[in-house]
């Protein structure tokens, strides 16, 4: 399980880093060309897609590291039995939401069959929007891999909001 978690963490970190570097390069080059009077017609559409991809893959990475916004102080103020039940309920709701998002994302991909980007008519919209079901699936996997450590911390009364940033929950 640790090997899978570490591999997913490495993959998501590098995917997010490469997407951020790529987006930065595209925007910087596009601004330079615009200043030179040679504006690209495609860069803003590609930048929007890149930002969406960074958001989805970065969210999965944050889920794996349990770094999303939470309400640990409220959760930890509950008695131990209720605290664990509330945490399990929250996990179930989160997993259900992302399962629904993955399903809806797959349906959207079916609807978008044959559509292409406006400025790059050789790029299928299905490719750009595939991040929805893929990102939702990665979020589910990340949530499941990090859940045992999170539930141990909840049971022990440890606040993850106040944990050190470099301390992963395992």
Q: Each residue of 2-33: pLDDT tens digit?
A: 999 999 999 999 999 999 999 999 999 999 99
Q: Under 8 Å CB-to-CB from 119, ≥6 apart: which residues?
A: 41, 42, 45, 46
Quote the pTM value: 0.88
Chain segment 48-81, per-residue pLDDT in tens: 999 999 999 999 999 999 988 877 888 888 898 8
What residues have CB less than 8 Å from 30, skipping those under 6 apart?
A: 39, 40, 43, 44, 47
Q: Please report which residue ranges of the chain form alpha helices under DSSP H.
A: 2-35, 43-65, 72-76, 80-111, 125-129, 131-156
- Average pLDDT value for residue range 114-139: 95
Segments making up each domain of the chain, as ranges: 2-156
Please say whether the beta carbons of 101 and 132 come within 8 A.
yes
């Amino acid at each position: 399980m640790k090997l899978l978690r570490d591999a997913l963490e490495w993959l998501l970190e590098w995917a997010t880093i490469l997407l951020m570097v790529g987006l930065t390069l595209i925007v910087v080059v596009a601004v330079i060309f615009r200043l030179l009077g040679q504006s690209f017609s495609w860069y803003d559409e590609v930048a929007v897609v890149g930002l969406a991809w960074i958001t989805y893959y970065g969210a999965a990475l944050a889920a794996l590291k349990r770094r999303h916004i939470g309400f640990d102080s409220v959760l930890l103020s509950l008695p131990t039995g209720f605290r664990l039940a509330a945490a399990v309920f929250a996990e179930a709701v989160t997993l259900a939401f992302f399962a629904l998002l993955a399903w809806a994302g797959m349906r959207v991909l079916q609807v978008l069959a044959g559509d292409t980007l406006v400025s790059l008519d050789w790029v299928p919209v299905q490719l750009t929007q595939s991040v929805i079901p893929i990102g939702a699936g990665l979020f589910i996997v990340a949530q499941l891999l990090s859940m045992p450590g999170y539930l141990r911390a909840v049971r022990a009364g440890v606040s993850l909001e106040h944990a050190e940033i470099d301390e992963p929950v395992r």
